[in-house]
Copies of this chain bind each other. A is one copy, B any other.
Amino acid sequence: MTQGAEIICVGTELLLGEILNSNAQFLAQELAKLGIPHFFQTVVGDNPVRIKQAIALACQRSSIIIFTGGLGPTPDDLTTEAIADFFETPLVEDAAIWAIIEQKFTVRGIVPSPSNRKQALRPEGAQPLPNPTGTAPGIVWQPRYGLTLLTFPGVPRELYPMWNQTAIPFLKSQGWGETQIFSRNLRFWGIPESTLAEKVAPFLEQKSPTVAPYAGRGEARLRLSVRSNSQLEANQALDSLQQKIQALCGQDYYGSDADTLAAVVGRLLVERSQTVAVAESCTGGGLGQKLTDSPGSSGYFWGGVIAYDNRVKLKLLDVDAVTLSTQGAVSAIVAEQMAVGVKNLLETDWGISITGIAGPGGGSEEKPVGLVYIGLAAPDGSVTHQEYCLGLGRGRDWIRDVSASHALDLLRRQLLDKN
């Protein structure tokens, strides 16, 4: 048995996929914050035999078992009973718990039904774990030395306050939470996960802080984690490591944790007191939407033109009709004209455009689905473009979303270069 926690989520609705197991994520985050190692999660249905199987296994490998679900008043709520049964301990009715349940019902003007009486049962020797919002408490119990069980209802609205108000103080009283895990996610754009992993290979081997690579939606990430009893010390270790990694990766690194490309671009624009407008074809507004995800974006984003139809490109963006008909709407030159056009129309510092083939139809051998051009008109009057071949394998949504991110990334790099 290791010193660590295991989560057992009880509920047939989870096995039928009727609900998403957000409790497991919540508890996992909370355990990480408290520095409690957490190696397994199990989901099991409302079946007494299988719940007991899950308990038997968890007892062998974990020192803290956290249950969610199965505490309700109906016959298929079986968690407390299964726990008592597994440890061959009788269930007793707790008069104090029953008084609390009755009182909670009375406040709501309801008479508790006989089935609620079940919620006042606890294994002999277990303590109630108060539930500030719901009817019935959970339990906290040490059925034997070195093993602690905590039970919680499955309803997140009851679980969260119960965890914060009753479980955390208990776990801290047991000595947990002095050492916590502090993590930071570094975000990269324009470099595949595998290339990034090779670039930072020596760091992947080190013990503390640890470094782990991930792939996001078109982006690569590194998660740095360190165990510490001091936020300050943890931040120093993470800062120092981050500096080394950034030095290796240059502009491919764009931000950390909750940073988005759009938010980073926003900060760079604010620093420079500059503004931007967008001209969008295949993304249909998705770039503008990303730019306005951040509160305060009205400080640097003025708006743009969704030029889905070529008539709009001609009329509002001043795209040249001959160029459009000879080169096609999806071309480098049209992308550049769109960027210049929207910059002039809205009188902003920067103009950025996207034109491409999002598919699934509309591709040709010469211009396949996934071909995208980004145009960028800069404050100094220069105009550039980038061509991207995003392939058709990952579908229309992906092509549109990643195109908008590429546009933000191109603007980000030019903002950094023209600093």
Contacts and interface: CB of A to CB of B under 8 A. Distances in A.
Nearest to A24: B21
Contacts of A195: 113
A26 interface: yes
A45 B50 contact: no
A25 B21 contact: yes
10 contacts: A40-B42, A76-B204, A108-B390, A109-B389, A115-B198, A283-B292, A293-B396, A297-B308, A298-B308, A309-B346
Nearest to A307: B303
Interface in A52-98: 53-54, 57, 61, 72-76
A186 interface: no
A143 interface: no
Contacts of A157: 217, 394-395, 398
Given A16-B29, A24-B43, A40-B44, 14 more contacts: A12-B212, A40-B42, A41-B43, A42-B43, A74-B193, A115-B198, A116-B194, A284-B291, A285-B306, A289-B289, A295-B361, A305-B306, A309-B346, A311-B347
Contact of A304 (B155, B285, B296, B397): B285
Contacts of A315: 346
Identify the interface centre among A13, A107, A285, A297: most chain B CB within 10 Å of its CB: A285
Interface string A341-361: 000011100000000001111
A303 B308 contact: yes
A195 B111 CA distance: 10
Contact of A17 (B29, B309, B389): B29
Given A38-B15, A72-B193, A288-B308, A393 B104 contact: yes
Nearest to A28: B17
Nearest to A109: B389
Contacts of A28: 14-17
Given A132-B393, A284-B288, A301-B308, A39 B20 contact: no
Contacts of A155: 215
Contact of A289 (B16, B26, B286): B286
A133 B298 contact: no
A32 interface: yes
A181 B13 CA distance: 13
Given A28-B17, A39-B15, A133-B395, A74 B197 contact: yes
